[in-house]
Structure formats: C-alpha cells, structure tokens
Amino acid sequence: MEYVTGRIDWSKRADYIRERHHVETVWADEAVTDPEACWLVPDPASTSGMSVRVIGYSGSADAVLTVILLPGDADPAEPTDGDWWGVNAWAASERDQRLYVEKPDEQD
C-alpha cells in the first residue's frame, strides 16, 4: 500500500529521538519516504488507534527504521506545521525488519 507522506513536523520530538534512540529526523524522513516502506495503519501497538507505524530504509543511517506518526489533524486544538506529527523513531527490531521485507500489506 502506498501513502502520500507530506511534511513531517518533528518540532516536539526531534531531541527525544536523537537522545533516546540516536536517530536523526532526516533519517526518519528518509525511511518514511522509502518507496518500499511498509505502512501499518493503524500501528498495531497504538493505544489510541490513531498512530501509524512506518518501516522503511534510510540511506543516510544505512538502516531500516521504525517511525511512528500521527496525522497532523489528530488534535484540532494544536495544528501541526506539516501533514504529520513525528512521534518516535528507532532502529527496526528483527520483527519489523521481517515486515519490511515481507510487505504484509501487499499480500491482500
């Protein structure tokens, strides 16, 4: 399944992903815009059902990353400077790497 990504607003979480997971926002953006990225909508670990998990390759990081996004209109009281809020990003687990390779959303 292919999604139009648009701009990701990392203004609230850039420092967090850099400090906690050693991931740069440009790497996360690359993973999201990877044409082979696997989009899990909604993220199976989401408690709200609103977040999206994107598993994609970042050439700059030379790694498959897992990126968590929220739609930019998730909170009408706080508009984003983009189409998505960037929530989190980290090096993909073995499970997510398998999902990236297998592309379960394309098996429908």
pLDDT tens for residues 43-88?
999 998 999 999 999 999 999 999 999 988 887 788 777 789 999 9
CA distance 55 to 40: 8
Which residues, other chains included, contact 59 with Cβ-Cβ below 8 Å and sequence gap of 6+?
Answer: 30
Domain positions in the chain: 8-103
Q: Is the CB of residue 77 less than 8 Å from the CB of residue 51? A: no
Report the predicted TM-score, pTM, of the whole model to 2 decimal places: 0.89
CA distance 82 to 8: 5
pLDDT tens-digit series, residues 15-25:
999 999 999 99
A 10 A CB-CB count for 22 gives: 11
